[in-house]
Amino acid sequence: MKITSDKQVPQTGILNVFSLGAISLTWGHMLGYVSLWMLPITILLYAVGYGSEIRTVTELKSFSKN
């Protein structure tokens, strides 16, 4: 099995799995299906979902003097 490089990995869309989980838990909280004790997990899912959607790519600069 061939392992793909970073250039071959498809880009994620607007929402990822963590964002959808956070949205689902939010609706569960609003409708009363999920206990408020699960609120820290919901906030953590929002943070992870937002953090994995950032698409900035930083390149390492060489340390050679010009």
* b/e sequence 36-52, b meaning 16+ C-beta within 10 Å: eeeeeebeebbebbeee
H helix and E strand count, the chain:
2, 0
Is the pLDDT reported for residue 1 higher than 90? Answer: no
The reported pTM is 0.60
- Reported as a single tens digit per residue, the pLDDT across 26-66 is 999 999 999 999 999 999 999 988 776 655 555 545 555 55
